[in-house]
Amino acid sequence: MIKVFPRVFSLQLTWNYSVQDISNIQILDYRIKVLDGTTREQVFMYTAITKTSFKIEKLARNTTYVVEIQARNEVGYGKTANITARTLLAGKMI
């Protein structure tokens, strides 16, 4: 499950991971892709994320983005989890 906390120019993400098979292979890190919600063009890509929370900054206000998260283990990248989120139009900047 991915949770998003939108801000004016950023999105704060947190997620959980679950082990899908009985081998219990350790997750090494995550890859996060940020796509424009309208054009689906890649805006940012972050690799080697080792925590289950991340702040995506330098986004446009009041804009929809698709965020894709993939876990990587010794075999490679797994299935993609994604969520659509929108930055805020206005508000207190944090």
Domains parsed from the chain with CATH numbers:
2-17+28-86 (2.60.40.10)
**Confidence category of residue 70, pLDDT binned at 50, 70, 90:** very high
Is the pLDDT at 18 greater than 90? The verdict is: no
Q: What is the pTM of this model?
A: 0.87
In whole angstroms, give the CA distance from residue 49 to residue 77.
13
Q: Which two tokens stand for residue 82?
A: 């994604």
Spell 48-62 as b/e; 16+ CB within 10 A means b: ebeeeebebeebeee
Strands (E), 1-63: 2-6, 11-15, 29-36, 42-49, 53-56
